[in-house]
Amino acid sequence: MNTVADFAAFSAEDWRALASFLSPVECRAGAPLFSEGEVSDGLYFLLSGQFAVEKKGKLPGKKQTVALLSGGSVAGEGAVAGIARRRASLLCLEAGQVLFLSL
């Protein structure tokens, strides 16, 4: 399992400063963390598991996988950039743990 140590850009001091703002989230296989079109309300630090970034396809009801992410990745960064709505969905393919930073 990965840990916050896998996010090399952050020091232990950075994590301590963020700790009170982070919420742990357990992700079940097949469950979405967020869906395209929802309000961008925060950022996810993926600690473990496998995730698919999906966008709506051109055909009705079809989706396109545009990226695969695993522990040590960040998702939902559009929220930090001020993007009001999610531009993709994040689906948990393999159960894992994430930390959610609410904005």
User: Which tens digit of pLDDT belongs to each residue from 46-96?
Assistant: 999 999 999 998 899 899 999 999 999 999 999 999 999 999 999 999 999
Q: Give the Cα separation of 69 and 53 in Å (integer).
A: 8
Give the number of other CB atoms < 10 A from CB of residue 8.
7
Residue-range definition of the domain harbouring residue 45: 4-102
Q: How far is CA 78 from the centre of its chain?
A: 11
Please give the structure tokens belonging to residue 13: 């001091």
Question: What was the pLDDT predicted at 52?
Answer: 98
Does residue 3 register a pLDDT over 70? no
Question: What was the pLDDT predicted at 10?
Answer: 83
CATH at residue 54:
2.60.120.10
CB 91 within 8 A of CB 14: no
Domain count, the chain: 1
Question: What was the pLDDT predicted at 6?
Answer: 77
Please give the structure tokens belonging to residue 62: 């079809």
Q: What is the pTM of this model?
A: 0.89
